[in-house]
Structure 1
Amino acid sequence: MWRLDELELGDLDADLTTALTYVNEDPVYELSVAELAAIKAVYDLYEVMLGQPAPGLQPAILIAARPILHAAYNQVQIGGRLEGLRSRILASTESCPYCGFGEVKDLDHYLPRGTYGELAIYPRNLVPSCGPCNNAKRTVYPGMPAAQGPGLIHAYFQPLPDEDFLHADVEFDADGTLSVTFRVDNPGMDPGLAAKLQFQLDRLKLNARYRAQVNKYLSEQRTAMLMLHATGDAVFSEFLQRSSAALVASCGRNDWRVALLRTLAADPAFCAAPERYVGPPPAA
């Protein structure tokens, strides 16, 4: 969740050639030497700016080529000439970095291709994502009016502190219903970054979407939890703590599951009677 390892760029020249050449080898658009140099300069600047907006990402020399490059993204779709690029990006992660659980089926343009057509097929401007996150994020872009929100972090470039900042607040209703709300909170974190992370939670409606995931996850852990709880509350709490720590290696320390288990391990009500909240063990 939140971050992805930086994607290998692959052969950018080959991608451009494939995108701008029909299968019969006729050109869709012939880039001039100056236009090709400008596109490469845009790609380099995108890296320098860590994916954030900059005037140089829309050079005047690409006015004619920009709509062609914008349309070239159609070749990244299934059945297109750049379908291999799509497959490579989608295969780079097992779950959506925006929510941490969704199946990756879409490619999200971090900088919108409607504005930055030059980056329509640039691999690191294409974030593998699930459909719900991609749809919710669609009109969000860096540098949008402050009244609309601070935008989302860049899954490839945003540095994150190696500290806990995602927290789970739990409430136990009288009928045994477990309610969980996630929030971003770290006093030492840059306020702008904290605002972006919280905005991401809110914009993508993750708290509402996590409800089903929390129930599913705890149901999957029910048998192990109840077996460990039989050995005593203290051992059970330590089991939850160790389970949370073990998930850090694969999911990151601010994954929603890590935050959930960390909170449950410290909650006396849950550790005293987990069966009230996860249900009784399955019948033999």
Structure 2
Amino acid sequence: MISINKPAFNNIDILKKCVGAYPSATLNNAISHFQKIYGSYDQLMTHGEGYKIDASQELENLDKKFMLKLYKEQFASKKGGCREEYDKILASAPRQKCPMCSESIVTALDHHFPKSSYFLYSIYPNNLVPICSRCNGEKKHTKPDAVTKQFIHPYYDDFSKEQWFEVRFISQNPIKLIYECKENDHLGEEASNKLKSHFKRLKLADLYTSNAIVKLGDLKNIFRPLLKTKDWFSVCEELKTERDMVSGRPDSWEYALFEKLIKEDWYIKGGFVNID
């Protein structure tokens, strides 16, 4: 997945700016509380313990309804006082790619901890992550309050140098495959559980398998002329070239696919035609 630098904003200034748009609203003594929970969020996420972050409790006049209003009217609205910050966070995704799947184009900001339960973080920049429509829909309102319900957080997690999922062939003729999350025990239990949860809940196996099937169809067309000469060496070399081209992204579906194919003798020696 794609790692992104944390937003470089003064979180309390954003809070003051959004609340200040409503003359009747006041922070009173709430600033110290926000400083505390924002700091706790950052610390827990840094140590991979996001599941310990408590759901929000209403704070004086800053109830759930008002906090959600701040996000909708002051952060997400094109006329909002903090829309500039919204756009900067949205634009922080490299190449506009969704950091949660590394595939689709980002379309909005997601509350990593859903605002429905963690409403005091509704305008906290570190909780706002660029996301595509697909991942946003799959993630929905999942409350990440357990180790097995975590998602990769692109501001705090970086697994981009790990091939943490792999391809398994279910059938050789016709070719059928599936993507699976590895055990990843070397990363520790909490990281391993987070990767499994992320992979499963965002249904990345479906997305990557679909992409891979299309790619295998393209490879069939490329390799078909080599059937007559049985030039399996050229097939293998092309697969290695394809793998090396994406070697800088070992956590991509392409890398996992080619890393698997170059080890499959049946595929190299003509099995590539067995794709519908």
Q: Which residue of the partner structure matches residue 132 of structure 2?
A: 130
Would the alpha carbon gap of residues 277 and 128 (structure 1) be closer, same or farther in structure 2, given more than 3 Å must change? farther
Identify the match of residue 23 of structure 2 among 27, 36, 51. Answer: 27
Q: Which residue of the partner structure matches residue 182 of structure 2?
A: 184
| Cα deviation, residue 13, structure 1 | 4.3
Q: Which residue of the partner structure matches residue 155 of structure 2?
A: 156
1:86 aligns with 2:86: yes
Identify the match of residue 99 of structure 1 among 98, 101, 104. Answer: 101
Per-residue deviation, residues 70-126 of structure 1 (Å, max 9, x unmatched)? 321103324241332222222222222222212211322122222322211111211
Whether the aligned pair in 2 keeps the contact of 1:244 and 1:258 (CA below 8 Å) is yes
Q: Which residue of the partner structure matches residue 268 of structure 2?
A: 271
| Cα deviation, residue 247, structure 1 | 1.5
1:261 aligns with 2:258: yes
| Cα deviation, residue 182, structure 1 | 2.6
| Cα deviation, residue 231, structure 1 | 9.5
Whether the aligned pair in 2 keeps the contact of 1:109 and 1:127 (CA below 8 Å) is yes
Separation in 1, partners of 2:231, 2:26: 72
Separation in 1, partners of 2:185, 2:252: 19
Per-residue deviation, residues 8-61 of structure 1 (Å, max 9, x unmatched)? 332434422442244xxx5262222x322322332222211117255688587x
> 2:203 is aligned with what amino acid?
K
Per-residue deviation, residues 212-250 of structure 1 (Å, max 9, x unmatched)? 32234445666666689989423432432343233232x
Q: Which residue of the partner structure matches residue 120 of structure 1?
A: 122
Would the alpha carbon gap of residues 12 and 220 (structure 1) be closer, same or farther in structure 2, given more than 3 Å must change? farther
Give 3-state SS (helix, strand or coil) of 1:170's partner.
Answer: strand
Separation in 1, partners of 2:168, 2:236: 17
Would the alpha carbon gap of residues 224 and 159 (structure 1) be closer, same or farther in structure 2, given more than 3 Å must change? same
Would the alpha carbon gap of residues 8 and 187 (structure 1) be closer, same or farther in structure 2, given more than 3 Å must change? closer
Give 3-state SS (helix, strand or coil) of 2:114's partner.
Answer: coil
Per-residue deviation, residues 113-168 of structure 1 (Å, max 9, x unmatched)? 22322211111211221222222222322224x7xx43323222125495432111
Whether the aligned pair in 2 keeps the contact of 1:4 and 1:156 (CA below 8 Å) is yes
| Cα deviation, residue 259, structure 1 | 0.7
> 1:114 is aligned with what amino acid?
S
Would the alpha carbon gap of residues 195 and 66 (structure 1) be closer, same or farther in structure 2, given more than 3 Å must change? same
Separation in 1, partners of 2:246, 2:223: 16
What is the TM-score of this pair, normalised by structure 2? 0.79
43-52 or 125-134, larger mean C-alpha shift:
43-52
What is the TM-score of this pair, normalised by structure 1? 0.77
Identity of aligned pairs, percent?
Answer: 20
Give 3-state SS (helix, strand or coil) of 1:37's partner.
Answer: helix
Q: Which residue of the partner structure matches residue 6 of structure 2?
A: 7
Q: Which residue of the partner structure matches residue 168 of structure 1?
A: 167
Separation in 2, partners of 1:138, 1:40: 27
| Cα deviation, residue 187, structure 1 | 4.5
> 2:265 is aligned with what amino acid?
P
Whether the aligned pair in 1 keeps the contact of 2:6 and 2:155 (CA below 8 Å) is yes
> 2:192 is aligned with what amino acid?
A
71-80 or 156-165, larger mean C-alpha shift:
156-165
Separation in 2, partners of 1:225, 1:182: 27
Separation in 2, partners of 1:18, 1:41: 19
Unpaired segments ≥5 residues, structure 2: none
Separation in 2, partners of 1:10, 1:183: 35
Give 3-state SS (helix, strand or coil) of 2:211's partner.
Answer: helix
Separation in 1, partners of 2:196, 2:10: 36
